[in-house]
Chains A and B, each alone.
Chain A
Amino acid sequence: MMKTAEMLEVFNRQRGDAIVIPGRGGRFWVELSEQPERDLPLGDPAMGGHASFALGLALALPNQRVVLFDSEGDVLMGMGALPTIAEKAPANLYHFMLDNGVYATTGGQPVPNADTMAYETVAQGCGYPATYAIDNLEDFANQIEEILGQPGPVFVALKIDPEIINEPINNRPQWQRKTRNQAVADMQAELGIGG
């Protein structure tokens, strides 16, 4: 198991100039990132859609590396996105998935079949050319350069400690530093895209 923040810290050293969609790791990523204009901390526009959003972005920006930190709850809800990603095969997409086994933001209830799911096998079966399953920080640190050094799409299932939130949504601290649309506008300005 890894702490999300520690895993993201290791990734950040290898980030380069990648566009990062931190997904459910957003509250940790905004504390670490040194290139917020290349970040899309969207929070949760609608559950299950991050992988498709990242696919669209990767197809739109073939010369930019796009890194997504998805979650297992999102992947379970939107599993049908995996074959589409595999078919379109964007060489610039790196699909990390945080697996803590639970719906952490609703109090920690287990996701379906949490104990025996093999997400990397699912991704492989859907046609991802490279998949990984990593359950500790040392292995992640040892493999991250290899993961990012190959063409995508690459899928990486990461075992993460549950860091459960059990407060009503309106009582939670707001970690976002800008709105979703401002984050998109900042990235577009950084890349010279007319919004």
Chain B
Amino acid sequence: MAELSPARVLAELKNNGVTHVVWLPDSETNFLYVLMRDEPSIDLVPVSREGHAFSTAAGLAAGGQKPVILIQNTGMMESGDSLRGWGLGMNTPVVMMVGYRGWTRHGVITDTAAFYTERFLHAFNINYYLVESDEDADRISVAFAEAQREKRPVAVLVGDEYHGFNVSR
């Protein structure tokens, strides 16, 4: 299968007018980090706990900016109350790109982080799109349009995690 390239992800963020990336490093996102760091149109806001990403994004959106949240599924699950209160409760139109740790379409999922990810999103009634390769990357724009239209968080599950984390590889 083709890979999801960090350059393509960054292009999607730029095409959708992202102003701020609120993020906590994911397992395999360093290549994307280097690209984002060198991109003058994007301001990186590093958080130390994923729950802060939702409140930070809510403040940025209230002030008229367009944030994206970049976290891992483990941190998303730790952030449930922030997602509820600052994301859904504040009608924050934000895309959260979630590293899908443990995801594989080749065999049985053994990582509980992956096992509970979609169940968690269902519990919060968050719509999501799976992106595994550059061929899927236009789904990121679909997510941005939906978040803006519905004024609520929409998730993009990054199944490839920028080439490296899938147990099948």
Contact = CB atoms under 8 A, between A and B. Distances in A.
A84 interface: yes
B91 interface: yes
Given A52-B47, A78-B49, A57 B55 contact: no
Contacts of A188: 62, 64
Contacts of B84: 46
Nearest to A59: B60
Interface string B45-61: 11111011111111111
Contact of B89 (A57, A60, A180): A180
Contact of A49 (B46, B52, B61, B62): B52
B43 interface: yes
B62 A56 contact: yes
Given A45-B85, A46-B82, A48-B51, A55 B56 contact: yes
Contact of B60 (A46, A57, A83): A57
A13 interface: no
Given A40-B62, A46-B81, A56-B62, A80 B48 contact: yes
A195 B90 CA distance: 12
B89 A46 contact: yes
Contact of B55 (A56, A87, A194): A56
Nearest to B63: A60
A56 B56 contact: yes
Contact of A52 (B20, B55, B64, B81): B55
- The number of chain A residues touching the other chain, given as a range, is 35 or more
Interface residues of B, number: 32
A193 B61 CA distance: 10
Contacts of A45: 55, 58, 85-86, 89-90
B168 interface: no
Interface string A154-176: 00000000000000000000000
B48 A49 contact: no
B47 A57 contact: no
A65 to B, nearest CB: 13
A76 B86 CA distance: 18
B25 to A, nearest CB: 13
Contact of B48 (A58, A83, A191): A83
A80 B60 contact: no
Given A45-B86, A49-B85, A180-B89, A59 B45 contact: yes
A181 interface: yes
Contacts of A193: 63-64
B17 to A, nearest CB: 12
A104 interface: no
Interface string A50-87: 11111111111100000000000000001011011001
Given A46-B81, A46-B82, A88 B45 contact: yes
B81 to A, nearest CB: 5
A56 B57 contact: yes
A53 B47 contact: no
B65 interface: yes
Interface of B: 20, 22, 43, 45-49, 51-65, 67, 81-82, 84-86, 89-91
15 contacts: A47-B81, A48-B51, A49-B51, A49-B55, A53-B62, A56-B56, A59-B43, A59-B60, A60-B63, A78-B49, A78-B51, A84-B45, A181-B91, A184-B62, A187-B62
